[in-house]
Structure 1
Amino acid sequence: MAGQAVSAIPEAASAFQQAAKVTATRFWSHYLRSIMAPLFKSVGAYTESEQESHLQFMDEHIATNLGPLPNDPHSPYVVPAAIVGAPFDPSINLTSFGSGKVRFDYTVVEPIERPKEDPFSENLAREMLHKLASVVGADTRWMDSLMSSLYLSPAETDALLASMPPQLLCPPACIGMDFDGPKRTLKAYIPGIRKALATGQSSAELVLEAIRGLKPLGSELAPAADLLAEYLANCKHDIILLLAGIDCIDPTRHKNARVKCYLHSKANSFSVVRDVMTLGGRLNDEASLKRVDILRSIWPLLLNEPEDTKQIDDDWSKPERIKEKLYTGIRYTVEMTPGKKIPETKLYMPVFQYTETTDITEKNFENTLKKLNIEWGHNGKYGEVMEAVFGKEKDYTQIFSSFSYTAGKGAYTTSYFAKPIRQ
């Protein structure tokens, strides 16, 4: 009898864990649908059958990945949306032509206690990404190559466990999804910081070497990677290369397949922004220079400053509202495409740092859209979509506003926003 009682304990614990997971999945499914159902509908770029297909996909494959209930013990959410207590970043990409495209991203939510066999959840991230890749029919070669280069060996795992900084917030992967009509495109983001801490090498060296070694076509990315390496080696600013992101599509068939290097700087003066966006003047082609000129024209709006103010000279830095390390500074991407020697750059502005209300942030973003000659600014569509998703009370926070320009796309931007958790 005693033996039977002991053997029943693991079964009871397992049943409890399974019930908790079912409850959490149900909660996250409801939360995701509360955002994504009205978002898909109001954007106007998806048929009813496409909307339902995407929502069903999220029920089955995303809600299951967001971890325990938010009020239950869980590892920290390391996404911009964490500022409102959420693990999930939805966004809308807007260009000078065409409809808005819905996207989202989230980081792998690690177990609250590190399993001995997978202390940094790298195997968990591999499994999660491969399951999603199988569902959407993604190409995993670049993803596998990055993980092979940037994930830890057993010896590196032991070294990092022995010397790990307290409060290290570095999830093993971030996962993104783009929705284009009926299509779903997987994106994977792999950090270099953990490998850097384990080996003593710089994150930039590790990430750029991983990019040069990508299979296939790593050699065709090398010139752009070398250009970024040269800039970082000589840069006088506090630029850190955090991670690499890739489109999980066949780069031999899709000539627009990108590798994106994510940079971070604490500085927010436009002189630093110009330096990063041009890689210290190394990007001096017409498109790169026009990108900076257009960005300068919307800079006051991004900082929530009057457009005619004399205060915003190129060396002025505006104080941030929130000093927590996770949310400070500006992010950039340097985007590389096989065969193109000149990369493209993009800025991600933390607009929540400079505005105190959603109404102000939304008004500034609509005025930005107008300046960029994007239709959603002229016809009020952006505000209508936000109201459709979050109600008249606008219960959301806009986290980031990104900006770039290319000769093919023109000026384009993405609005990243988050809905607070209400349990």
Structure 2
Amino acid sequence: MTINNEPSTNGKAAPIDIAYWHRNLAPILTSLMISAGSYSPAEQEKQLAILSEHVLPRLGPRLQDAHTTSFLTQSDSPLQAQMNFRDGEPIVRYCWEPLGPLGGSQSDPYAIDAAREAMQHLSTTFGLCTAWSDPLLEAFVPSPDEIRAVQAILPGWLASLGPASTVPSINRLPFSHIGMDMKGSEVGIKCYFNLKIKEIATGLPVTDMAFDALRKLKPALEPAAIDAVQHFLSERPVPYAIELVGLDWVDEREMSDARIKIYVHSRNNSLNTVRDYVTLGGLIQDETKLSGLQQLSKIWHLLLQEPEGIPDDDYDKPFSGDSALYQKLYFSFELRPGKKLPEVKTYLPTWHYVRTDEETVGNYEEIFRLCGQPWGKEGAYRKLFESAFGPVKHDRPKPVHCDASFLFSSETGIYQTLYWSPPLER
């Protein structure tokens, strides 16, 4: 079959680029769906059709011809593969950065035009309510002058974050990315905005701007929940803490139960730091939350990739190597209309701490065993990993394991998600 190699003129990638992304990404997601055991052949086919029609054409040129690489993963892939391991049926997910044909070029350095096109396409195609997404986009999108300013400021801003690094400085930050939960033959869609570009341009924390935008949303969030998060962050010594604001992008009829998610980072990864954030400094003390923390304490050393254990709950593990961003731990505060307190989820940038994917596979199998999940059976998680990504022993410069998140709730029980950087043809 001859593939058309003509460049795109309609906001989508050229056919040869779409074929590249399909060849590199579709088999991984197919393998994960098969391993999950919860997708029928018809559902798998439908999910791949959604991927091929709505996502792959918006990932931009293949790697060798791309204007930029994506900071979403450690492999430069603009799509990150994920799986949620909850009690019951696991869900395969992925997150992607819409780069379009010109994302990262001089005409669209932060892929903002590409993000607008993708958001317009998805909202129209899937009937998504834009009551939250439109005002947040306009609140957080940087102006042309701010974009020009950031291009000059970014290297110095990155250098100011922490210890000197030998890692080459990144030359851009992603403005937006989109999450897709593969639910049977349907998709649950989420949208995320990176506030850092605007923050770097102005030199001011975006905290006030972010909370002001959230207070104006309709349907409204609970003011008490916004106040609680804002007060908590104001008392924590983390400069420029807010990273992202995300939202459940749903049908208008589902807006009353949709979430806004505020993502923040911490410069300390101790278990006591986790307790502080998850309880909002002791404000949240319900039995479910405390049970979740107790469960998390049993596996925290393994999430930090320390199978032999850690000295104590104040242990703050250093990075395994240099990093352009000095961010050791993430949390999301999930706000819903009518909910007076947020749900707090813990995220660990595993790639900062991974020594080898082989060791990490063993650590995760032990985590699953301690959590009473079937993926802890001898070799079960390793089989899932190798079916999707190839041998755990490899010579790639970066690990495939990217991030991990943990939540314990009365509705879902233990709710863990693993995130992977798909290896790409070079």
**In the alignment, what sits opposite 2:367?**
368
Displacement of 1:362 in angstroms is 1.0
**8 Å Cα contact 1:89/1:105 also seen in 2:** yes
Residues of 2 paired with 1:74 and 1:221: CA distance?
A: 42
**Distance change in 2, residues 1:211/1:137 (3 Å):** same
**Distance change in 2, residues 1:91/1:384 (3 Å):** same
Residues of 2 paired with 1:17 and 1:375: CA distance?
A: 45
Displacement of 1:385 in angstroms is 2.1
SS in 1 for 2:425: coil
SS in 2 for 1:46: coil
**In the alignment, what sits opposite 1:325?**
324
**8 Å Cα contact 2:365/2:380 also seen in 1:** no
**Distance change in 2, residues 1:70/1:197 (3 Å):** same
Displacement of 1:239 in angstroms is 6.3
Q: Among 122, 127, 133, which residue is 1:132 paired with?
A: 122
**8 Å Cα contact 1:136/1:186 also seen in 2:** no
- Comparing 251-260 with 129-138, which one deviates more in the overlay? 251-260
SS in 2 for 1:263: strand
**Distance change in 2, residues 1:223/1:322 (3 Å):** same
Displacement of 1:376 in angstroms is 2.5
Residue 39 (structure 2) pairs with residue 49 (structure 1): no
**Distance change in 2, residues 1:88/1:235 (3 Å):** same
**In the alignment, what sits opposite 2:24?**
31
Residues of 1 paired with 2:377 and 2:325: CA distance?
A: 34
Displacement of 1:393 in angstroms is 5.0
Q: Which amino acid aligns with 1:51?
A: Q
Residue 185 (structure 2) pairs with residue 182 (structure 1): yes
**Distance change in 2, residues 1:383/1:251 (3 Å):** farther
**Distance change in 2, residues 1:380/1:15 (3 Å):** closer
- Comparing 409-418 with 379-388, which one deviates more in the overlay? 379-388
**In the alignment, what sits opposite 2:95?**
105
CA distances 1:97-130 after superposition (whole Å, capped 9, x unpaired)? x111010002232633332xx6644333121112
**Distance change in 2, residues 1:20/1:229 (3 Å):** closer
**8 Å Cα contact 1:250/1:257 also seen in 2:** no
SS in 1 for 2:299: helix
CA distances 1:34-71 after superposition (whole Å, capped 9, x unpaired)? 21122222211111111111112211221111111212
Taking the TM superposition and a 5 Å limit, the aligned residue runs for 1:19-168 are 21-79=14-72, 81=73, 83-96=74-87, 98-109=88-99, 111-115=103-107, 120-152=110-142, 156-162=143-149, 164-167=152-155
SS in 2 for 1:91: strand
TM-score (norm 2): 0.86
- Comparing 67-76 with 364-373, which one deviates more in the overlay? 67-76
Displacement of 1:244 in angstroms is 0.6
Residues of 1 paired with 2:148 and 2:269: CA distance?
A: 34
Residues of 2 paired with 1:250 and 1:25: CA distance?
A: 29
Displacement of 1:337 in angstroms is 1.3
**RMSD, aligned α-carbons:** 2.5
**8 Å Cα contact 1:257/1:338 also seen in 2:** yes
User: Which structure 2 segments of 5+ residues have no match?
Assistant: 156-170
The structure that has the greater radius of gyration is 1
**In the alignment, what sits opposite 2:342?**
343
Displacement of 1:271 in angstroms is 2.4
Residues of 1 paired with 2:130 and 2:380: CA distance?
A: 36
**Distance change in 2, residues 1:387/1:286 (3 Å):** same
Q: How many residues align?
A: 398
**Distance change in 2, residues 1:357/1:198 (3 Å):** closer
SS in 2 for 1:422: coil
Residue 214 (structure 2) pairs with residue 222 (structure 1): no
**Distance change in 2, residues 1:119/1:31 (3 Å):** closer
Displacement of 1:198 in angstroms is 4.0
User: Which structure 1 segments of 5+ residues have no match?
Assistant: 1-13
**8 Å Cα contact 1:386/1:394 also seen in 2:** no
**8 Å Cα contact 2:403/2:418 also seen in 1:** yes
SS in 1 for 2:103: coil
Residues of 2 paired with 1:46 and 1:130: CA distance?
A: 29
TM-score (norm 1): 0.86
**Amino-acid identity (%):** 31
Residues of 2 paired with 1:44 and 1:107: CA distance?
A: 27
**Distance change in 2, residues 1:112/1:417 (3 Å):** closer
CA distances 1:327-357 after superposition (whole Å, capped 9, x unpaired)? 7411111111111111111111122332322
